[in-house]
């Protein structure tokens, strides 16, 4: 019989859980040292809940948490604490929806297990097999992290043996299902000699996730921190009315109006990403595209440039951006609103992380109003309506910033020869001529980027109050954290 131990911890605030220090978990000393090396002093809420829960009992476990909450370490720490470093059998299998997430999980494992003899291997599609086969055969990892398709391939090739797996973890399970990996995941489950303990982490409880839990999980314990989405309080969520043809100019103004931007721009289609990127590049902004048409190598180059902050903006589709984990993003722009709350939550959750403030700005046309209302209604978050800033004011701000940047540039000394020559030629120049020269050389192409003639109107008068029409919206809104899971 399917029994659920629903363990919704409602109150860090009420004192049911007091955020501990890591010492209180009594971690094996070598793991504790690894944690300490990371500079983690206090567990995040999901860690405070999950580390003791995942370290005890045989029940399957389900954690509701998003990226940015410390959920990777929340399962990596208790997992590493329970593996046998003296055995060279694979004891843990971690499934991730994307190669990027596999990297992130693998990185956290390496860091925290650094003082132990535990080894891990990463396997994912899009690259040749030999290197991965070698890392499985010769590396003798106790932990394998990978994407479902490649894991199945390696099982079929009899390279990956799951007979001794004790723990199987599904990370970002909702993303995994969204990407169509359900059948692969179920197929992987059939290859265990004995049913391992299943742990799942997911940001949302979609119907697909509930079905998977029902079919595959044994008396799962749910780990959820009330206010698990609370980090959204660190994200200022605003929206701006535009008409279709005004989106590009609106986006440009929003970007230029901010003093510094390092962020993602989400588009609906691959074609749109290219159009938006070309437009922004034509305005001298450093922009990369990330969409499904890119080869893995092109994708890697784009990600590398973005990570190194050689470009300030990445224009992407939802699918291409899955698993991107970049620290310190300041902004997420929704060039179009996504269709549902789940995607909206995933998108904006890329910023406002690790206690830093972030901004999520959405462009909304009249056709998007129902979607906007739905997102506001279901998330119970107030998105603040703001006006697209005035083009002239943005241009003025930009000019001020560019001049300040110019003056603060570090410049090397010129050679005495060159100084003499320049003196001879430039000596008689008037101030105006000199400034014009600087303008032409350095400023011309990066000033007056906004089209000052364009004005933005609200598409139609706002209704005083939103009254849900459809039956489903008419129901009492259920809180994200308290909704019934079954």
Which residues lie near ligand AMP (CB under 6 A)? 40, 43-44, 47, 67-73, 325, 354
Q: Which residue, 88 or 481, is less far from ligand AMP as judged by CB?
A: 481
Give the number of C-alpha atoms closer than 13 A to the C-alpha of residue 178, restricted to the C-beta side.
22
Q: Kindly state the tokens that stand for 443.
A: 């400023």
Question: Are 144 and 123 within 8 A, CB to CB?
Answer: yes
Q: Which residue, 201 or 335, is less far from ligand AMP as judged by CB?
A: 201
Give the residue at shortest CB distance from ligand AMP. Answer: 72
CB of 22 vs ligand AMP, minimal distance in Å: 8
Question: What radius of gyration, in Å, describes the C-alpha atoms of the chain?
Answer: 26
Describe the crossing of helices 341-348 and 369-379 by its angle, rounded to 10 degrees: 80
Q: Kindly state the tokens that stand for 51.
A: 């580390």
Beta bridge partners, 405, equal none
Q: Which residue, 40 or 189, is less far from ligand AMP as judged by CB?
A: 40
Q: Kindly state the tokens that stand for 382.
A: 């107030």
CB of 227 vs ligand AMP, minimal distance in Å: 15
Q: Which residue, 288 or 325, is less far from ligand AMP as judged by CB?
A: 325
CB of 199 vs ligand AMP, minimal distance in Å: 14
CA distance 191 to 337: 41
Q: Which residue, 248 or 347, is less far from ligand AMP as judged by CB?
A: 347
CB of 76 vs ligand AMP, minimal distance in Å: 8
Torsion (CA) 94, 97, 103, 105 in degrees, nearest 10: -40
CB of 47 vs ligand AMP, minimal distance in Å: 6
DSSP class of residue 268? S
Q: Which residue, 234 or 390, is less far from ligand AMP as judged by CB?
A: 234
Cα distances (angstroms) measured from residue 179 to each of 166, 174, 202, 224: 26, 9, 14, 24
Describe the crossing of helices 71-81 and 29-37 by its angle, rounded to 10 degrees: 160
CB of 330 vs ligand AMP, minimal distance in Å: 16
Give the number of C-alpha atoms closer than 13 A to the C-alpha of residue 305, restricted to the C-beta side.
16
Q: Which residue, 76 or 289, is less far from ligand AMP as judged by CB?
A: 76
CB of 287 vs ligand AMP, minimal distance in Å: 25
């Amino acid at each position: 019989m399917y029994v659920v131990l629903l363990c919704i911890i409602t109150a860090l605030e009420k004192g049911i859980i007091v955020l501990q220090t890591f010492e209180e978990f009594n971690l094996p000393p070598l793991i504790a040292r690894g944690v300490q090396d990371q500079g983690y002093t206090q567990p995040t809420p999901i860690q405070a809940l999950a580390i003791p829960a995942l370290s005890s009992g045989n029940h399957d476990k389900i954690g509701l948490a998003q990226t940015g909450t410390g959920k990777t370490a929340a399962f990596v720490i208790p997992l590493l604490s329970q593996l046998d470093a003296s055995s060279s059998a694979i004891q843990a299998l971690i499934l991730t929806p994307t190669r990027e997430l596999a990297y992130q999980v693998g990185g956290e494992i390496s860091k925290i297990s650094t003082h132990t003899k535990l080894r891990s291997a990463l396997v994912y599609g899009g690259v040749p097999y030999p290197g991965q086969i070698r890392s499985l055969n010769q590396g003798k990892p106790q932990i394998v992290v990978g994407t479902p398709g490649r894991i199945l391939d390696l099982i079929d090739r009899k390279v990956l043996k799951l007979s001794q797996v004790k723990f199987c973890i599904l990370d970002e399970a909702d993303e995994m299902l969204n990407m169509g990996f359900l059948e692969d995941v179920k197929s992987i489950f059939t290859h265990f000699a004995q049913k391992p303990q299943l742990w799942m982490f997911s940001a949302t409880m979609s119907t697909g996730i509930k079905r998977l839990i029902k079919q595959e999980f044994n008396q799962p314990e749910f780990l959820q921190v009330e206010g698990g989405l609370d980090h959204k309080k660190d994200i200022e969520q605003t929206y701006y009315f535009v008409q279709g043809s005004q989106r590009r100019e609106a986006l440009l103004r929003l970007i230029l109006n901010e003093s510094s931007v390092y962020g993602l721009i989400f588009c609906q289609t691959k074609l749109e990403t290219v159009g938006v990127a070309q437009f922004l590049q034509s305005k001298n902004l450093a922009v990369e595209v990330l969409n499904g048409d890119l080869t893995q190598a092109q994708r890697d180059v784009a990600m590398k440039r973005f990570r190194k902050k050689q470009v300030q903006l990445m224009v992407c589709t939802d699918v291409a951006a899955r698993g991107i984990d970049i620290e310190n993003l300041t902004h997420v722009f929704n060039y179009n609103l996504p269709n549902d709350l789940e995607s909206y939550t995933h998108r904006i959750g890329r910023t406002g992380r690790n206690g830093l403030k972030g901004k999520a700005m959405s462009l909304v046309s009249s056709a998007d109003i129902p979607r906007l209302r739905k997102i506001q209604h279901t998330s119970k978050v107030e998105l603040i309506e703001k006006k697209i800033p005035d083009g002239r004011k943005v241009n003025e701000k930009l000019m001020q910033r560019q001049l300040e940047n110019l003056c603060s540039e570090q410049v090397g000394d010129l050679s005495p020869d060159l100084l003499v020559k320049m003196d001879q030629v430039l000596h008689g120049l008037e101030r105006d001529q000199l400034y014009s020269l600087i303008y032409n050389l350095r400023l011309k192409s990066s000033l007056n980027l906004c089209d000052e003639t364009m004005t933005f109107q609200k598409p139609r008068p706002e209704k005083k109050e939103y009254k849900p029409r459809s039956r489903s919206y008419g129901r009492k809104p259920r809180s994200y954290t308290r909704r019934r899971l079954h």
